[in-house]
Each structure stands twice: as structure tokens, then as C-alpha cells.
Amino acid sequence: MLFVKRVFLAVLVIAAVQSANAQLLPDSVARVLDSIENSFTFRTGSIVLPAGNGVLNVPAGFRYLDRDQSIYLLTSLWGNPPDSSSLGMLVPEGIKLLADDSWVFDINFEEIGYVDDDEAEDVDYDQLLADIQKDARDANGERVANGYLPVEIVGWAVAPFYNNHKKVLHWAKEIRFGDDSATVLNYNLRILGRKGVYVLNAIASMEQLPLVQSNLGQVVNSIEFGPGSRYADFDPEIDQVAAWTIGGLVAGKVLTKVGFFAVLLKFWKLIAIGLAGVGGGVFKYLRRKKDNNDQLPAQNS
């Protein structure tokens, strides 16, 4: 099985109705999935982002899922730790969010100040990778204690590189959860501004890396800082310089706590957090189906 998320609701359904008529299961799961998919609403055009004084011009071939719906998707449906930092998502047209081939760009803003990029070319990314791998291993005890799978950073899926002209930092990690043989792609973009950085994370499979890369240009160009908030607007007399360097953004040491891999977890089995959201509704729905089925008169064979 390539992704555990392919059966995340099916696993829940089977656990909920082990004694039910097995023929009900596929149809019930399909109805639940369709109902959830149809509940999402998307926007196109120009979107004022909820933080960072930026505007998202939704690129061709994408739709915007707003902040509240994105947080619901990440936490209640994809089983991530609670986190309200998402500003929304770019979702490819024609993609169902609960389908096998779904992938998105999640958008955040980190108000960390102006990131000085003078030493961008001096970063030793091989050593940085080793540090990140160690940080992830060190954080696994806390993750497991909080009910989440341990994480292994397999390596760079795309080595870090910095576009000095556009002030955009790129890198991608290949990640494994627990003992799963399949790995997950985490493609990171950081768009630098005067007072912080827009954070775009592609949530996808390793097999979708070429697809993600083919859309990077228009995705990077889709976010614009407003007047006064651009990188070039930095005023050293009054503005805060971030404690972060370009290498520090890649290392992300502050994120190695439990929530580090929050947006990566759409490939996990549905966990307890999910049960409190969509899971409870699925249990109730299928329990009603089972009870109604039990009350039907037996038919002669």
C-alpha cells in the first residue's frame, strides 16, 4: 500500500461496524467521502491573506481553500495535531482532497523579522541535514509519548537552494513515519519579506515531486507582499532583524517539537484527534445503518 491515507476512513468504518453486513461498507464509505468533499467551497482570483500583509493571486489550475476549512482538513480529517497557523491552501483543480492522488500547498506566515541573506551561499547543507536528522530523532520520544509515530528524515528530496533575485528559499525532505516502507515528500518554500516569511509547504507523495516542481514557478509568483512589507522595504534603522539565517530557516530547530511535521500527516491512519471530528459522525452514521439493517425482516433463501 502506497499511502495509509488511502484507507483512513475505511479503517475507521471497519472498526466501527465489524458485525455489520460487509456489503454495506464500500457504499457507506463512498457516501461519507462524497459528503465531505462536497462540503468544501473554493475561491479563485485575488485573496487578501489573513496575515503578513500579502495578497494571493490564485494561479491558473488552482483553487484557494480558506483558513477555517484548511484547519479542519488538516486536523479533523487528516489527523494532525491541533494547529491554527494555516492561512489556507492552494488546491489543484480536479483534485479531491480525500482522494489517493490529492496534494496541496499549505500557506502560513511567520512574523520573525527581516532574514539577512548575506551568508546564503556559505551554508553547509550536508552538515545541516545531519543536524536535522538528529533533531528529529531527539524529538521522537516526545512525539511517541503524545501518541504520534516516530519520524525519520531520510534525506534531501531536493537540496536547499536560494533564489537571490526572487528572495525565495527552496528545499524538500523525504520523510518516513514509523515503520512504513513508503515515504512522504515535504517541499518547502520560504518567501522573504520585510517583517517575516511566507511559508508554503507542499503536502504530497514522493511520486508527485515532478508534479510539484512543475508548478513551483507560478505558485511562488502567486504571493505578493503589500507596499511597505517587501524585502526591499527593509529599514535598518527601525526594523527587527530576525535571529534566523537562511540555514536556520532550513533547519527549523524551533519546529522540532511535537507539531514539527503537522502538515505532513495526511498519510497517517486516522488517529484519536480525527475520531473527535469526522470520526464520531461516521460511527453514528454507520451505527444507524447497522441498526436499520438488523431490523429488516429475514428473507427466505
Mean pLDDT of 50-76: 94
Quick check: 284 pLDDT over 80?
A: no
Q: What is the pLDDT of residue 26?
A: 61
Euclidean distance between CA atoms 207 and 184, whole angstroms? 9
Q: What is the pLDDT of residue 124?
A: 93
Quick check: 243 pLDDT over 70?
A: yes
Ranges of each domain in the chain: 42-270
Mean pLDDT of 33-47: 93
Mean pLDDT of 95-99: 89
Q: What is the pLDDT of residue 98?
A: 86
Euclidean distance between CA atoms 48 and 57, whole angstroms? 9
Q: What is the pLDDT of residue 281?
A: 36
Mean pLDDT of 258-281: 38
* CATH, range 42-270: 2.60.120.1690
Confidence of residue 253 (pLDDT cuts 50, 70, 90): low
Which pTM does this prediction carry?
0.77
Euclidean distance between CA atoms 85 and 255, whole angstroms? 13
Q: What is the pLDDT of residue 293?
A: 44
Question: Of 8-17, 44-53, 117-126, which has the strongest mean pLDDT?
Answer: 44-53
What count of other Cβ atoms lies within 10 Å of the Cβ of residue 210? 7
Q: What percent of the chain has pLDDT over 90?
A: 52
Averaged pLDDT of the chain? 78
Q: What is the pLDDT of residue 278?
A: 34
152-210 confidence digits (pLDDT tens) = 999 999 999 999 999 999 999 998 888 888 888 889 999 999 999 999 999 888 999 99
| Of 300 and 103, the one with more pLDDT | 103
- Look at 80-94, 105-119, 170-184, 280-294 and tell me which has the smallest mean pLDDT: 280-294
3-state secondary structure the chain: CCCHHHHHHHHHHHHHCCCCCCCHHHHHHHHHHHHHHHHCCCECCEEECCCCCEEEECCCCEEEECHHHHHHHHHHHCCCCCCCCCCEEEEECCCCCCCCCCCEEEEEEECCCECCCCCHHHCCHHHHHHHHHHHHHHHHHHHHHCCCCCEEEEEEEEEEEEECCCCEEEEEEEEEECCCCCCEEEEEEEEEECCCEEEEEEEEEHHHHHHHHHCHHHHHCCEEECCCCEHHHCCCCCCCECCCCHHHHHHCHHHCCCCCCHHHHHHCCCCHHHHHHHHHHHHHHHHHHHHHHHHCCCCCC
Answer whether 143's CB lies under 8 Å from 171's CB: no
Mean pLDDT of 99-108: 90
| Of 107 and 290, the one with more pLDDT | 107
Q: What is the pLDDT of residue 84?
A: 86
Euclidean distance between CA atoms 160 and 183, whole angstroms? 19
Quick check: 142 pLDDT over 80?
A: yes
11-35 confidence digits (pLDDT tens) = 444 444 443 444 444 667 677 788 8
Answer whether 79's CB lies under 8 Å from 92's CB: no
